[in-house]
Structure 1
């Protein structure tokens, strides 16, 4: 893989969602003053504050009856961009940045830097336990010869298509496939690749995180999760350490993506405006 290809930003990149998660030991939820302080520190990029509810269900055995389900609703602050395409959530055990308007890793890294400094200034977590970068791609290609199902081996590496030849021998057309592969980068780093052909959308547009939706149709999903997890000890919540780790996690993501797509996809789809 050439250095030029590594630096290339495709005009029609298929990224529909990118997320960064920094998980840390459990903290007290931000109080009203801390939320106000956080809002002031991120308002130039994420000016719209809101509150999200997260519902969890627990089942407890009754002393003299059937198990009882209990719902617990937890609220946490969230900030979004004016177009509702980039969001920050701050939970007691993590912060998560999500965007459907990726642009470039440099843009997201700059936002991460600002968010980390703000979190550190408002209420510093005790350490960092996990850092994850997730990319979801929807690869869509032009229809050919009136077929409703693309010939995916023309666009992605054949290793992602599984035993498609079995269907061909039985005059059956494969329309959905799904697989997962886990790569280890050492004791504390792994990359998970989920992939497969499907229809419509891998990521929906929601009121909380919007995305432009193309017409529904066949797509090939690439879902790459590159993450680091503290192995022996939990390091301090240090901004430079987290950014360096994010850079290291980002490095193999592009390599995996480039390795599983074809030159035809690059030339006919990704490099077209």
Structure 2
């Protein structure tokens, strides 16, 4: 997420054979329901359309954890994320002027649950927690804070440089009798691009837009990427397992990246309560923008249940 948290995307879910045209499946509305206010979060199930939820906490560079610190960290996370894996991010660095770029690997430890649906990556400059089995914001925040608490216990977090919360959502609805999806029934028309243009009889099948929202002063920002796609939002080789079968059909992507950066170039000290409060502050705009980008018909389908 440049302003991004996590990885980029493609994903899906099949509707039951008896799904009526224009109706959402139960699994779909349960997950979308979790983004609406005043609903029973305990009833939300880990199915599409929430493909991935990620929290990234960037901090000043620290030394790699020692072997003893890694052992202690593994012990602290044993109940939630018992599997330890070595991982790396690869970027391209420049050598001398005119020289060819060379790959630079940033190695780190990643802890994963037994279902391979939730992971915590402990990097030199960031803590990243992500899940493909999202149930509710509260439950996910609990996992994130257990990881942060463990990390702070073995090695101090000296400051906060960026906090990001990202939702990658796939909205899948039944096609009409002609096999096409009328997205304007489900998605606000302001997001639907030049769909009425049919040059030479061609049908518009894919486009992607981006909307950027910021506070007047540095602080909270929100970036939403949106547009229809085919297949799935996550790379098929992504390191976490999708909890729904792979699909090849159409979906509408809402990639919501809500993040905070400190003002004035300062690096505030790490404070647990302030971090939890910031998570809540970031979730609010993400929830609101989701509600504003879907139609009343889609909301009715969610709340009717």
How high is the TM-score relative to the length of structure 2?
0.81
Aligned length: 264
Q: Answer whether contact 1:89 1:96 (CA < 8 A) is retained.
A: yes
Q: Which runs of 4+ in 1 moved over 6 A?
A: none
1:229 has 2:264 as partner: no
- Residue of structure 2 in register with 1:181 after alignment: 211
SS at match of 2:94: strand
The counterpart of 2:90, out of the listed 35, 48, 55, is 55
Deviation at 1:171, TM superposition (A): 3.5
Q: How do 1:85-234 residues align onto structure 2 when only pairs under 5 Å count?
A: 85-147=117-179, 149-167=180-198, 171-186=201-216, 187-206=218-237, 208-211=239-242, 212-232=244-264, 233-234=266-267
Matched, 1:242 2:275: yes
Q: How many Å separate the matches in 1 of 2:304 and 2:94? A: 52
Q: Helix, strand or coil for the counterpart of 2:196?
A: helix
- Per the TM alignment, residue 73 of structure 1 is displaced from its structure 2 partner at its CA by 2.4
Q: Distance in 2 between matches of 1:265 and 1:164?
A: 20
Structure 1 position 56, deviation (Å):
2.3
Note if 1:260 corresponds to 2:293. Answer: yes
1:82 to 102, 105, 114: 114
CA distance in 1, matches of 2:56, 2:36: 27
- 1:42 and 2:77 correspond: yes
Structure-to-structure mapping, 1:2-41, within 5 angstroms: 5-8=36-39, 9=41, 14-41=49-76
Q: Distance in 2 between matches of 1:51 and 1:78?
A: 6
> How much does 1:272 deviate?
8.9
> In 2, distance between residues paired with 1:115 and 1:38?
9
Deviation at 1:170, TM superposition (A): 5.5
What TM-score comes out, normalization by structure 1 length?
A: 0.90
- Structure 1: distance between partners of 2:157 and 2:294: 40
Query: Cα RMSD between the aligned structures?
Result: 2.1
Does the aligned pair in 2 maintain the 1:185–1:191 contact within 8 Å? no
